[in-house]
Amino acid sequence: MAAALATWLGAIGGLIWGAPAVVTIAVGAATVAIRSRATGVVIALAAVGALSGLLAGVRIDATMNADVPSGRIEFAAVVAEDDGPRRPAVVRPTALRVPDGWVGWAGPSLAVGPDDEYPMVAGQTVRVTGTARSAPGRIRGDPVAGRVTLGKVEVLGTSGGPFFAIGNLVRERVRSVLDLDDPPQALISGFLIGDTSGLGPAHLEALRRSGLTHFVAVSGSNVALFLAGWWAITAFIGFGPKRRFIVGSIGLAIFVVATRWEASVLRAAFMAIVVLGAAAAGVNVDTWIAVGVAVIVLLLGSGQLAVDIGFQLSVAATVGIMVGAGMFAGRRPRFLWMTLGAAIAAQVAVVPVLLWHFGTVPLMSPIANLLSAPFVTAATVGGTFAVLSGWGPAVTAASIPAGAVLAIAGLASRWPQLGPAAVAVVAGVAVLLRVPRSRPFAVLGVAAVLAVSTMAPGGVPSVPEVTFLDIGQGDSVLLRDPGGTVVLVDGGRDPIVLADALRRNHIGRIDLIVATHGDIDHVGGFDGVVDRHAIGRVWVPDQPDLGEELAGLLEDAARLGIPVDRVTDGISYRAGAITLTTLGPRRRYATRNDGSIVLWVVADRTLLLPGDIEAIAQRELPPLEPDILLVPHHGSGSTDPEWLEATVGDLAVISVGPNTYGHPASETLAVLADCDTAVRMTMDEGDITIPLGSP
């Protein structure tokens, strides 16, 4: 495990610091190896890990900074990641259509779609016709350089060999038998092949907050179940150690493809291969060696796994379970205590990872896991039989325990979530419990943590206020009145990030949602919001192009009967002491940005929320002098400097996150500086709350 940890740290160093980390560690390895060969080998692995991380970083940067043809495009590509509901596919181009024919094009990875009419499956070779634009970012962790809005997709064939062919057949069988629009059946798909595309953000967030996400991160138990069935199917070949290794490796390769090489699957599959390979060679290996070898091999092959949250959680949970395996040894009933012990040990092990990535950990996760475990087993076994048989009643029967898991997740997601300080208190309580005389203080500590976690103040403001939410590269603005009225203007690009932002601001019901326009960095976060919050009504711009990302919100609103208004200028809304009036869109515009809803917000102070309007729409607005200005389009250079100078007052806010677009632009910042305007950025400060009224 020391070698695995060294490799991991080296890979992180290579990703962050690049070549200097590789050289430094390599020199250290050479120096130490002179005195201690064993220690030198460990540090050498760290150096190789750093090289793997460096190469991964180079590949990511090359993709994110690659040039993408703009406009109409036709190209051939290999599909690297499937598409799904409201989720684009990721493709790797191989050829580009030019006026004289086709030319080779080893272009950067692109996000394509989604489009229900043209589903794409990993391993297919396709010909894509559509409209391309530069849009560097990540799709499920994979870097992409741009996005293609689909016109048409033609499947040319399948690459990847027999493993891809069989793996895709397994995956397609699961998806064809189960109705992924039904949440319990979508959860069964997650249990079997890790495909949670049918689960909305609300269910996924509930699983995370209850500590149950690992059940859909296909891992060791799923691999063991698959291997048992695989060996039953291939029993005619024989059961010798060498045959088991060969047949098992083939089966695991198919399973990895079927589950789309999730990090947890790779970890579990490589552990199984190590154990099977050792048995074939007549060597005994324990689980510690298997974990260590699997981690080393995977990190050397793919350095970016070092910072992959799924990989981090999978390895940490596995180590935790191994450490805590005998926590409640000898207690009865054995199944109950083993399950509870494994859940507690795994939860403790992943606490640092959860705190780093999410800022909180679920306090009652072991209880939720204990309640869910038998239902997960029943749903997995029943779902396997249903998929193999295709029998409708079996699907219905398996959906019952899967629905129970979702119900437990929904309930447990409302249980206390602990931040770093509360985790420290709980850790101290655990230490005190080891000392008999300190146990009364430990009980008081637990009571205090529960009280603080469950009875935190609701956060209703004493005066009208605006909060510019820190949701990364995008816009999301909260308007709140002391009477409890809540208006949410835009939602950023990520529904989980938006959910966390609304939770930390204690938002329940939302009286009005305003989607200023359809760009994903303004409306992507709305996916599933109607399932998490009661919504009064929705405003969208009265424009011909609302964008595919906004379609999901409109569908959800129609499903629940939430009124949707297509607004132009001159529409007003009263939110307690706050009055909102639309100043745009004033007409139909050629670009989606200029067609943004522009809001004039009045309380004791005035606020202008202009969406992403650019120079054309800005010049058509009436003269304005707001007390607070949200700088349009994240401070980009598309703003008219004369309009900005004439409009901005004492305070400007720029909602922006780390990006490759150059936001905020230097020329925009220069105008604000010349106007002696105070500038505040969410990227620097986090959530920015400003009172709009007087006490």
pLDDT block averages, 10 residues each, the chain of length 695: 81 77 65 64 79 86 87 92 78 92 91 74 90 81 84 83 85 90 91 82 78 75 77 74 87 87 86 90 87 91 86 85 73 73 77 77 81 89 91 94 92 76 74 63 57 50 91 94 92 88 86 94 89 89 86 87 93 92 93 94 94 94 93 93 93 89 90 92 90 78
User: 257, 163 in Cβ contact below 8 A?
Assistant: yes
Residue 401: count other Cβ atoms within 10 Å of its Cβ. 22
Following DSSP, what letter does each residue of 573-619 receive, concatenated? EEETTEEEEEEE--S--SSTTTT--EEEEESSSEEEE-TT--HHHHH
Strand partners, 630: 653
User: 602, 616 in Cβ contact below 8 A?
Assistant: no
- Give the integer Cα–Cα distance in Å for 603 and 566: 24
pLDDT value of position 512: 96
Looking at the chain, how many residues does it have? 695
- Give the integer Cα–Cα distance in Å for 598 and 617: 10
- Give the integer Cα–Cα distance in Å for 145 and 284: 46
Q: What are phi and psi of 688, to 5 degrees?
A: -115, 115
Handedness of CA 628, 634, 636, 640 (dihedral sign): negative
Contact partners, residue 16, CB within 8 Å, separation at least 6: 53, 57
> Packing angle between helix 19-33 and helix 37-64, nearest 10 degrees?
170
Name the nearest CA neighbour of 194 among 286, 273, 84.
Answer: 84
Letter for the amino acid at 466? V
Q: CA angle 551-554-560, nearest 5°?
A: 140
Q: CA angle 84-85-88, nearest 5°?
A: 50
User: 583, 541 in Cβ contact below 8 A?
Assistant: no
User: 93, 75 in Cβ contact below 8 A?
Assistant: yes
Contact partners, residue 513, CB within 8 Å, separation at least 6: 487, 488, 491, 526, 529, 535, 537, 538, 539, 553
User: 209, 413 in Cβ contact below 8 A?
Assistant: yes
Name the nearest CA neighbour of 142 among 105, 88, 84, 94.
Answer: 88
pLDDT value of position 533: 85
- Give the integer Cα–Cα distance in Å for 132 and 150: 9
Give the pair of three-digit tokens for residue 542. 């009265």
pLDDT value of position 416: 72
At residue 347, the 3 state secondary structure works out as helix
Strand partners, 76: 95, 127
User: 62, 107 in Cβ contact below 8 A?
Assistant: no
Indicate the pTM of the whole model. 0.67
- Give the integer Cα–Cα distance in Å for 629 and 267: 49
Name the nearest CA neighbour of 196 among 143, 264, 247, 150.
Answer: 264
